[in-house]
Amino acid sequence: MSIHPLERRWFVVATLLVVVMGGLIVYNAAAMKIHPPSNVETIDSTRLHLTEEFAEDKLGVARRADGAVVVRLVMARYMVHPQEITLPAETPIVLRAASADVLHGLHVAGTNIGTQVVPGYVSEVRTTIRFDAVSRIGVANPDGSVTVPLFCNEYCGLGHQSMWGRVRVTRP
Ligand code: CUA
Cβ distance 104 to 152 under 8 Å?
Answer: yes
φ, ψ dihedrals at 35, nearest 5°: -155, 155
Residues in Cβ contact with 27 at an 8 Å cutoff, skipping those fewer than 6 apart = none
Q: For residue 75, give the ligand 1 atom closest to its CA.
A: 1
For a pLDDT cut of 90, what percent of the chain falls above it?
77
pTM here is 0.80
Q: For residue 104, give the ligand 1 atom closest to its CA.
A: 1
Q: Kindly tell me the sign of the dihedral angle through the C-alpha atoms of 35, 36, 41, 44.
A: positive
pLDDT in tens, 8-64: 999 999 999 999 999 999 998 888 777 777 788 899 988 888 888 898 888 999 988
Q: Is it the case that residue 100 has pLDDT exceeding 90?
A: yes
Nearest-angstrom CA–CA distance, 100 and 105: 13
Number of other CB atoms surrounding residue 57 within 10 Å: 5
Nearest-angstrom CA–CA distance, 165 and 13: 44
Output 164 or 32, whichever has higher pLDDT.
164
Residue whose CA is at the smallest distance from ligand 1 atom 1: 104
Q: Is the CB of 152 under 6 A from ligand 1?
A: yes
The CA-atom distances, in angstroms, between 37 and each of 5, 33, 61, 114, 145 are 44, 11, 20, 8, 27
Q: Is the CB of 154 under 6 A from ligand 1?
A: yes
pLDDT in tens, 48-92: 888 888 988 889 999 888 878 999 999 999 999 999 999 999 999
Q: Strand pairing of 104-108 and 146-151?
A: antiparallel
Nearest-angstrom CA–CA distance, 50 and 58: 11
Q: Is the CB of 106 under 6 A from ligand 1?
A: no
